[in-house]
Amino acid sequence: DADVTQTPRNRITKTGKRIMLECSQTKGHDRMYWYRQDPGLGLRLIYYSFDVKDINKGEISDGYSVSRQAQAKFSLSLESAIPNQTALYFCATSADLRDSYTGELFFGEGSRLTVL
């Protein structure tokens, strides 16, 4: 089983719909992230969380919200989806500074979202 699991893997929805992408991890990491990948733009950070009570905006948080339900679960919501939110979304985790921190991110397999 994957250490970082994202659901759904693919989703097609319509403009104005509310969408939730879910992420769960078994790595025991405190830090979790949501990134968005667009062709020609690389990956950009949407939100990140250090623990259940610590959530922070990334560089492109407008139009998105997140919830850290538990140490192992971090979900991303699009309250009212629009076509330019069509992208590949990645959840990732990293170790805490106290735990042999290497800066490395561990990624899920991605959720491809298409907004029509």
Contact positions toward another protein, by CB under 8 A? 31, 33, 40-45, 48, 56, 58-59, 88, 90, 92, 102-105, 107-110, 112
- Angle CA(59)–CA(69)–CA(91) in degrees, nearest 5? 45
Q: Residue 12 and residue 43: Cα distance in Å, rounded? A: 21
Q: Is 83 helix (H, G, I), strand (E, B) or coil?
A: helix
For another protein, which is the closer residue by CB, 38 or 79? 38
Shortest reach from residue 109's CB to another protein, in Å: 5
Shortest reach from residue 1's CB to another protein, in Å: 14
Shortest reach from residue 80's CB to another protein, in Å: 26
For another protein, which is the closer residue by CB, 51 or 79? 51
Burial classification of residue 81, based on how many CB atoms lie within 10 Å of its CB (0-12 exposed, 13-18 middle, 19 or more buried): buried
| Residues linked to residue 94 through DSSP beta bridges, in sequence order | 31
For another protein, which is the closer residue by CB, 43 or 72? 43
